[in-house]
């Protein structure tokens, strides 16, 4: 038996699905299609040895974050990459490959998204 105004009344706490307003995915997709990614030539030259499309997608996503955030290290979550078809396992392999190529450095944290720093300058001092 529940009383009117009871804070623990489950029926009173239910949300009507028609009251929930979400940004339509078509609108979100249209905005995404208008964006672009700036790719440094040093990175472009190294893309020839990348082993998978997922690695390329992760690299381009990192560049987008790098320029958007003005060079600050980025926390690389799974959701944005999932929209591009990159799973957690593919993300992990891509980060290892990009790190091996010297394009990024990764701070891995247990049970948290890694923090990635984009490296634009090559070791020989050229940019």
Q: What is the pTM of this model?
A: 0.71
Residue 34: pLDDT band with limits 50, 70, 90: confident
Q: What is the pLDDT of residues 39-67, one digit of tens each?
A: 999 999 999 899 899 999 999 999 999 99
Calculate the average pLDDT of the chain. Answer: 85
CATH of domain 41-118: 1.10.10
Q: What is the pLDDT of residues 70-107, one digit of tens each?
A: 999 999 999 889 988 999 999 999 999 999 999 999 99
Residue 26: pLDDT band with limits 50, 70, 90: confident
| pLDDT score, position 104 | 96
Domain ranges of the chain: 41-118
- Asked whether the predicted pLDDT for residue 3 surpasses 70, the reply is no
| pLDDT score, position 21 | 67
Residue 125: pLDDT band with limits 50, 70, 90: low
HEC string of 37-105 equals CCCCHHHHHHHHHCCCHHHHHHHHHHHHHHHHCCCCCEECCCHHHHHCCCCHHHHHHHHHHHHHCCCEE
């Amino acid at each position: 038996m529940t009383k009117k105004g009871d804070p623990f009344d489950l029926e009173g706490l239910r949300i009507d699905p028609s009251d929930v307003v979400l940004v339509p995915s078509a609108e979100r997709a249209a905005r995404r299609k208008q964006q672009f990614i700036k790719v440094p030539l040093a990175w472009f030259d190294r893309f020839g040895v990348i082993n998978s499309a997922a690695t390329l997608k992760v690299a381009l996503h990192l560049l987008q974050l790098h320029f958007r955030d003005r060079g600050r290290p980025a926390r690389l979550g799974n959701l944005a990459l999932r929209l591009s078809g990159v799973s957690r396992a593919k993300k992990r392999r891509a980060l290892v490959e990009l790190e091996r190529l010297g394009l990024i450095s990764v701070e891995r944290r247990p049970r948290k998204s890694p923090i990635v720093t984009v490296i634009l300058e090559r070791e020989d001092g050229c940019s």
